[in-house]
Amino acid sequence: MPERTDLAALITGHGRVVEMINSGESGLPVLARLLDVVQPAIGATCTAFVEFAPTGGRVIAATGDAEWAVGRPVPPTDPATVCLLSGPRVRDIRVERIPGPLGVELAERGLRRMVAARTEIGGLTVGSLHAFYPDDDPGTAGQHEVVAYLAACVAHMYGGQSGLPVHGDGSVVAALADGLAVVDREGYVRLWNPAAAQVTGRSVQEALHRPLPFPLPPSGQVLDHRLPEGRWLKITSGELPGQGTLRVVTFRDITDQQLRDQDRDLFVAVTSHELRTPVTVIKGYADTLTDHWDSLTDSDRRRAARVIGQRANDLARLVDRLLTSATEGRPGEPAVPFDLAEALRDAVADLPTDLRRRIVLDLPSGLPRALGGRHTLATVLTELGTNAEKYSPPDSPIEITASANEATVSFRVCDRGIGIRPEHVERAFDRFWQGESGDRRPYPGAGLGLYLVRRIVEQQNGWVSLRPRPGGGTVAEVRLPRG
């Protein structure tokens, strides 16, 4: 570690981050740039940021030797998680003292020490910023303060909810208690309780004697209203008894309920659409064979049978996805060591013919055994391969490579297609998500493939991540524990 922080580089780099924010960029790209800034300024070997939610954490951004961990889940029961979320807000920790597998993984990469600072909003931990070093020398107070300062900068990004949190169930968007306000005839606030401040993010001082920050429904009626940052409120109002025209307004956060309702509606819409297409085609060709068998040539009959078979396979795959989605979270079979290279070759052989012809396998000899469910690899590779096929030119290759390190065995599915935006690398794993800006809407699909891949892989104590491929395209990487 250098004796002092390179403040000039830090200020220059941080200024560029601010310029990114001012130009309208947000979320992961800004966070990634901030990590790029802090690493050389404080002499770290690598940096990483973990986002925490009620269900645990996940590495969502990293630099240098820590990039391999992007996408890695950090379970809430992991001893390392308990260590990070307790004690002082900024800590200088020797890697050998980090309990659980995380400490072992870091030590195997030659990292000896970590400076970590929690990112907190109103007492809630939404993430933690980490800088790693190859030596045991304690850092200076100034360097610790820089990590703490940048963690606070990230907290400000989360507070604005501009592209963050990456995961919608984070602490920042957790449901809050009911709010209560009293407004006059012009709609100006006369009373604003603490819960109202929590629900809206407006303090008593910011709310009093100002217009109500959301629509006021007629007395006795209920209104569901979406706030600009995306949360939903259920608002009711009524007249206060006595002289004057004061009205009491109560409101609560119903974001979770809205999301459940939207998931249900989207599930019905997507399922009905995706089922209707292959069923319609199968029925059409079956009717043609039934009604016109004698007038069809052998070639026409074979073509009709081939299309029926292909669409039946599509239908079976969709039903399997839906069933897997409905039962995800149930315990699977115990993990066992298996030959990843052999399993990948077998899985490729079972792919649809058109997809299989585009696959280019490059598997090293002597690849260590992986620990997991060998039978699930075919599903994982089919989903990743189909995704690559869908978003890349028809004649372009889809490359599958594999490698290993001290802790994991991994394989990558790389395409040369339209690529994935940095701000979408995590959202792509959401159930039913198909992209927001139209770049993927022309492509068919239920939006379940990557969602199921992540669930399957994480049930085996592995993790999966996406990233843009240099020169165009997307890289999907799956990491499993070594067997």
Q: What angle do CA 183, 184, 188 make, to 5 degrees?
A: 65
Instruction: Find the range with the poorest average confidence among 119-123, 199-203, 352-356.
Output: 119-123
Output the average pLDDT for the chain: 82
Q: Confidence class of residue 240 from pLDDT cuts 50, 70 and 90?
A: low
Q: What average pLDDT does the segment 183-203 reach? A: 83
For residue range 318-362, what is the model confidence (pLDDT) as tens digits?
676 666 655 554 445 578 999 999 999 998 987 877 888 999 999
For residue range 414-428, what is the model confidence (pLDDT) as tens digits?
999 999 998 889 988
**What pLDDT score was predicted for residue 13?**
87
Residue 71 and residue 50: Cα distance in Å, rounded? 10
Q: What average pLDDT does the segment 215-231 reach? A: 84
Instruction: Find the range with the poorest average confidence among 141-145, 149-153, 437-441.
Output: 437-441
On the CB side of 435, how many CA atoms lie within 13 Å of its CA?
15
Give the relative orientation of helices 7-22 and 141-160 as an angle to the nearest 10 degrees: 0
For residue range 423-473, what is the model confidence (pLDDT) as tens digits?
889 988 887 676 543 444 445 555 677 888 898 898 889 999 999 999 999
For residue range 386-416, what is the model confidence (pLDDT) as tens digits?
889 989 999 899 999 999 999 999 999 999 9
**DSSP letter string, 144-183:** HHHHHHHHHHHHHHHHHTSS--SSTTSGGG-----EEEEE
pTM over 0.75: no
Contacts 24+ apart (CB under 8 A), 458-463: 458/73, 459/331, 459/332, 459/373, 460/332, 460/335, 460/371, 460/372, 460/373, 460/376, 461/335, 461/371, 461/372, 462/372, 462/408, 463/71, 463/72, 463/73
Q: What average pLDDT does the segment 207-236 reach? A: 87
For residue range 5-38, what is the model confidence (pLDDT) as tens digits?
788 888 888 889 889 888 888 889 999 999 999 8
**What pLDDT score was predicted for residue 441?**
44
> Residue 302 contacts by C-beta under 8 Å, 6 or more apart in sequence?
none
**DSSP letter string, 419-440:** ---GGGTTGGGSTT---SSSSS
The tokens describing 157, both together, are: 């990004």
Q: What average pLDDT does the segment 211-231 reach? A: 86
pLDDT for 1 beyond 60 = no
Q: What is the maximum alpha-carbon separation in the chain?
A: 89
Instruction: Find the range with the poorest average confidence among 56-65, 94-103, 135-144.
Output: 135-144
**What pLDDT score was predicted for residue 337?**
94
For residue range 48-90, what is the model confidence (pLDDT) as tens digits?
999 987 677 899 999 998 999 999 998 877 777 777 777 788 9
